[in-house]
Amino acid sequence: MITAEDLVREGTALSDRFGRERADAFGQSLPGLVDRLRGRWGLRPQGLYPSGATSVVLAVEAEGHGPAVLKVSPDAAFLTRQSRMMRHLAATGRAPTVLVEAPEDGAVLLERIVPGHTLDSTRGEPPTPPQWASLLQDLHRTDVDGVSDTLADRCEDMVDRIGARQALPQVRTHVPDSLWQRVVADCRDLIRTGTEQVVIHGDLHLGNVLDGGDRGLVVIDPKLCVGDRCFDMVDYVVTEGDAARMRTRAAELAPLVGMDLDRLLGWCAVNAVVTAISHITWSGSSARTDELLLLAGHS
């Protein structure tokens, strides 16, 4: 049973992304919006999923569709773009089907994947390299037509955003300017020397991949752009383990997807430092960040 209070709480919790005033207004309006959508689409709300930074997500039963997922966001334009990206991936079978949209309300109804838990919520080892390679091969065969964002632009945004975190005193102690400057130069060089330009998911960490049972791995929350397919491999490589285990995982994955190992490790070193900076910013230095920096060649 989802109460109005539950919906208000979930909506106002989006303040980190949208600011307190906008999130509060969204939270207060959410019970009425969900009630209208329930009548319009024949929904029976069943429970709440952990919400991300941009949306409130509900498990529902939908008339004519069965088990489904309702996403609602204060940023209607963002949700519309995301739905378009999901449709772009539809032919691969690796993304939930978009069932119906209400762009004016910032709402979309998606197919529910079963069992559907994210891979970062499971215990034990991450997916095997063959499983990840199969997912990548399906995702990367989509047509570049209709995808206008580029990895080059995304990386420049990342340089600005992560660079501001690296400049914080508590981060700079562990990630000195010399290391960050090297990472930025390496990232730009990898962009410059990239010969393959394919559609990539753009944010392919284990929290954005669902267990689809017999269907295999299924992705959510794409940030599609055109660029080097290595970028969709790096979060998988650095997901856990010490630096040696990460290098081994890269060595196992590279031949399965026809990728040069040195190039993959170059992207992984960039990602490892970016990931370490984010961890240090919010949680401080740890054995995990030490291993990430070791992977990047800094100790």
Tens digit of pLDDT for each residue in 239-262?
999 999 999 999 999 999 999 999
Give the pLDDT confidence score for residue 120 in this predicted structure. 86
Instruction: Spell out the residues 6+ positions from residue 259 whose beta carbon is closer than 8 angstroms to its own.
Output: 229, 230, 233, 253
Q: Which residues of the chain have pLDDT under 50?
A: none
Q: Model pTM?
A: 0.92
Contact present, 100 and 73 (Cβ < 8 Å): no
Give the pLDDT confidence score for residue 123 in this predicted structure. 54
Cis link prior to 96 (omega < 30° from 0)?
no
DSSP state at residue 224: -
Give the pLDDT confidence score for residue 126 in this predicted structure. 83
Q: How many residues does the chain have?
A: 299
Give the pLDDT confidence score for residue 124 in this predicted structure. 59
